[in-house]
Structure 1
Amino acid sequence: MIVTRGLTKRYGRVLAVDGVDLDVREGDRYGFLGPNGSGKTTMVRLLLGLVYATSGEIEVLGERVPARSRSVLPRIGALVEGPAAYPHLSGRQNLALLDAAGPGGSRRTRKSRIEDALEQVGLSGVDRRPVRTYSLGMRQRLGLAAALLRRPSLLILDEPTNGLDPRGIREIRDLLTGLNEAGTTVFLSSHLLAEVEQLCTRVGIVDRGRLVVQDDLATLRAPTGHVEVATPDAARVVAMLDGRVVDRDGERLVVRHADPAALNAALVAEGIRVSAIGTRRRTLEDVVLEVTGHGSDRVAP
């Protein structure tokens, strides 16, 4: 669905995207992550033909971009750097203008497609209020509705849950999961690691313009060779396991062990109470910090 080869973008002396080989497959829910200033939004703009690459190649839906953008873009739904709208018009009026201005939108089905898109994003009850009165969350939902107008086969989204409350984030996650299960490939740039971890099946991580990781999320979150144990008898466990406890936080322990069932049996045999036990896996936060440890925008005194 999306393939790039040696994709590079320079702005003067600034190397925003540095030789990226992206591989987004049909059916993916692909999370694109990285620290602030790592090149995420520039990458999204390159994929949509909004800026031109300094060097490298881009293929989207089997077509070269930007050369074939005119035939590709009608099959893509996109939200980049927040939704754009005429503030004095209503949401429906904005969607109607957007649909009329773009290629491939059927006038005959326009009204039904607008209503379907608004319902999908939770704005079906919106009235004729102008967009300037919308909250940030409502504007974000309207931007998503615009991305869904043409019933695209590929969604390219930059921070789609920005401004939404927890309930709204969950609704958009459920929407994107449902669209993906119905056949839409999702490419999602976000800084919300927990959200990407719950939604996405594959992940790419960029740091200072370079793609440093690209893999299935399940592979990245492989077992660490440790077991997490919750027990009111933590001190006894520490004494019993003789150096195999690598971390302790109150009643919660991390133990160097490959088999939770065998460890549980050994603890219970010693009369130790176990409230919870399970294999410890790397979180997505662990992975990101490991590969982008120096990529902070913190300014030291």
Structure 2
Amino acid sequence: MIETVQVTKTYGRVRAVDGVDLAVPEGARYGLLGPNGSGKTTLIRMLLGLVFATSGEISVLGRPVPRRLHEVLPDVGALVEGPAAYGHLSGRANLRLLDAAGRSVRRTRRRRVEEALERVGLAGVDARPVRAYSLGMRQRLGLAAALLRTPRLLILDEPTNGLDPQGIHEIRRLLLEVNAAGTTLLLSSHLLAEVEQVCTWVGIMDRGRLVGQDELAALQAPTGRVVLRSPDADRVVALLDGRVADRDGDRVAVIHPDAAALNAQLVAAGLRVAEIGAERRTLEQVVLAATGAGTDRMERR
């Protein structure tokens, strides 16, 4: 759905995006991670033709961008940075104007607008102007605009910005539903927990470069260690001498390929096991390994 080859964007002497090779498979939920200032938004703006690349190639929906952008945009929904709207008009009026600017059928416009508002939780909002909306309501309206025409590709830049925990949960559920119906998602965020719960693929940006890209399951594959908790931790360490990689109180990390087999061994030896499982890297560990410590930290929220 999206492919870039050595895409670079410079502003004077600053390389905002530096030689990025992005690949978003059809049907994927792709999370683009990175701290603020890492180049995520600039890359997304280039995908949508809002800014032009200094060098490199961009393909969206199998067509070169920006040369054939007019063929691409009707099938793409997008929410980039703060969603724009006419402040003196209601959310419904804004969506109707947006719909009228496209190639949609007029007689079904009202239904499309109401369905989009319903999906993002704004159906019950009265005719108040958008300037009276909260930040979270504006974000929901921007998402409704992105979903208005049932896009094949949905590109979202920080879609949960300004939402409370309930709102974040609702948007997460909506994105999963949209993807299940056939829409590919590209989600830019610096919230690791949200990407971990929504995405199937992850790309990690740091200082303008794409420093990692893979399926989330592959990035979080077992490490070859088993982590267990036991009130008999001292005896566990003595029994598994030479295979213990780490010990912290009742928590023991053991170099072992099979948690079930290790559990059976410990139980057979009369040792109590409170908790056991294969060790997997968290997304936070994956990101920190790829980017190192920075001044603008990722959020675990």
Given the two structures, how large is their TM-score scaled by the length of structure 1?
A: 0.94
Q: Is 1:164 matched up with 2:163?
A: yes
Letter in 2 for 1:55: S
What is the match of residue 78 of structure 1?
Answer: 78
What is the match of residue 6 of structure 1?
Answer: 6
- TM-align CA RMSD: 1.5
Give the gaps of 5 or more residues in structure 1.
Answer: none
Shift of residue 288 of structure 1?
0.5
Give the gaps of 5 or more residues in structure 2.
Answer: none
Distance in 2 (CA, whole Å) between partners of 1:258 and 1:25 is 31
What is the match of residue 268 of structure 2?
Answer: 269
Letter in 2 for 1:82: G
Distance in 2 (CA, whole Å) between partners of 1:92 and 1:186 is 25
Letter in 2 for 1:189: S
1:99-178 → structure 2 map (5 Å cutoff): 99-101=99-101, 103-178=102-177
What is the match of residue 36 of structure 2?
Answer: 36
Distance in 2 (CA, whole Å) between partners of 1:84 and 1:64 is 26
CA contact (8 A) 1:118 1:124 kept: yes
Letter in 2 for 1:85: A
The worse-fitting range, judged by mean Cα deviation, of 239-248 and 110-119 is 239-248
The worse-fitting range, judged by mean Cα deviation, of 11-20 and 245-254 is 245-254
Distance in 2 (CA, whole Å) between partners of 1:78 and 1:105 is 17
The worse-fitting range, judged by mean Cα deviation, of 189-198 and 240-249 is 240-249
Distance in 1 (CA, whole Å) between partners of 2:252 and 2:163 is 35
SS in 2 for 1:287: helix
Letter in 2 for 1:44: I
Distance in 1 (CA, whole Å) between partners of 2:88 and 2:70 is 29
CA contact (8 A) 1:3 1:22 kept: yes
What is the match of residue 251 of structure 2?
Answer: 252
CA contact (8 A) 1:208 1:295 kept: no
Render the CA deviation track for 1:232-252: whole Å, top value 9, x for unaligned: 222332333225333344433
Letter in 2 for 1:87: G
Shift of residue 46 of structure 1?
0.3
The worse-fitting range, judged by mean Cα deviation, of 268-277 and 13-22 is 268-277
What is the match of residue 219 of structure 1?
Answer: 218
Percent identity of the aligned residues? 72
Render the CA deviation track for 1:212-254: whole Å, top value 9, x for unaligned: 1111111111100111212222233233322533334443332
Distance in 2 (CA, whole Å) between partners of 1:17 and 1:218 is 27
Shift of residue 8 of structure 1?
0.5
Distance in 2 (CA, whole Å) between partners of 1:79 and 1:13 is 28
Letter in 1 for 2:32: F
Distance in 1 (CA, whole Å) between partners of 2:230 and 2:125 is 51
What is the match of residue 280 of structure 2?
Answer: 281
What is the match of residue 289 of structure 2?
Answer: 290
CA contact (8 A) 1:193 1:284 kept: yes
Distance in 2 (CA, whole Å) between partners of 1:269 and 1:35 is 48
What is the match of residue 198 of structure 1?
Answer: 197
Distance in 1 (CA, whole Å) between partners of 2:75 and 2:218 is 31
Distance in 1 (CA, whole Å) between partners of 2:232 and 2:16 is 52
1:17-36 → structure 2 map (5 Å cutoff): 17-36=17-36
Shift of residue 272 of structure 1?
1.6
Residues 129, 251 of structure 1: CA spacing in aligned structure 2 closer, same or farther, 3 A cutoff? farther
SS in 1 for 2:234: helix
**How many equivalent residue pairs?**
297
Distance in 1 (CA, whole Å) between partners of 2:165 and 2:218 is 27
Render the CA deviation track for 1:138-183: whole Å, top value 9, x for unaligned: 1111110010011111000001111112222121111111111111
Distance in 2 (CA, whole Å) between partners of 1:72 and 1:167 is 33
Letter in 2 for 1:14: V
SS in 1 for 2:185: strand
CA contact (8 A) 1:81 1:159 kept: yes
Shift of residue 76 of structure 1?
0.5
Letter in 2 for 1:202: W
CA contact (8 A) 1:35 1:292 kept: no
SS in 2 for 1:108: helix
